[in-house]
Structure 1
């Protein structure tokens, strides 16, 4: 995989690419758990739900719904998610190539990342095993829903960003739509400060596979990789806490979020290290 890695370069996003900092009714609806029976649910537990449906938003497009609680406060979660250099440490099969970040406005922040994904598919042709995607994300707050931080993420046009050497042009995936909702919570049983995240996205992986066998494989893949990624995310958040790490972007968001939420909830409870880990956020739970 090392042959795909390149020296990070910085690109600046023009202001006319900034999204509207208001959540639409369509996006709000997508953040509710889907009830259509056509949805598959590889993981359906109290504090982690993973669902997907193929073809909902177009042929070959995967609609994915995630709802989960991270057993870390919001400041630590943002420090991990905005540090593109660390994505490869917690996102299964994912490797960072370029990181482009620009802070825009008083209450919206924009970030672009170029990543590649190596799919664990031993029985498919080699040309389908590696995929590349440019994701453009924007964190923002919404006047009609002040109880959460939102993030939209879609495919960056990428005309000025070359595809990495060795990755076929047809491997550039697209994400036509994505929305997430993030807010701090307290575990009622333990008192730990946690973060609740809901995500809905449409992804075109540019893979010409369909049918029940492929659907079964995707179901298995989601059931393994998402819990594994969450466990790895928590480990990175622990490193963030121990080393007091942050990014310029996460600091800006947290500073603003102090006026949005109870500031204490954004950070660890004073005795959080001595509190028992939530039953649903334990490594044993993910392993089952």
Structure 2
């Protein structure tokens, strides 16, 4: 699916290191918009697979509902570049409101609540570093857990979200830039999603399948891993070869891309 939207003239905030290229240090409103756009594409390209996963233990509509919601979330951010009044928080808040209102079911409440909580935590920040982003996403995780009462090991989206936040926090404390920090978060989310295959669900609709659900990956964890993968791609210079759901090079985000000096 080609991206017909012209590239905005804004660029993500960078700081020049001692090497010959810049590295992403801050997420600005454009990067936040590009995260939503890349997540939109990731969910669409994996829509049928997410629906297949959900059919095993749920209603079989997770991929369809989430793709529709991201259609509307992306549409709400299109039409013009982020204005000087836009903030990272306002982009995440708007996305969360749309997801909560349109995704339906548990995914709408949980994903919408997480994006809204992260946006609210950032208030009116125009640019945030890895530490601030990790703190915001920690608020998102707290909202998910407050709504669903789930912990790691319950076979839910928390199994992907929690390790992703922990990895992002650890990388931020170590002084990593956003490219490196979000790579760690994406890898942790993917590993967490894979781990749900061997788990017996103790929360959500999958709970009613009991031991029969072992062997099926949780769809909410799978979509959460896609969203964290999209977050990393918002800062990536090159498409990771293992992430075939990400945008083609011709339409990829320019957030945090380096330039030769």
Q: TM-score, normalised by structure 1?
A: 0.30
Q: TM-score, normalised by structure 2?
A: 0.32
Bigger Rg, which one = 1
Larger relative strand fraction: 1
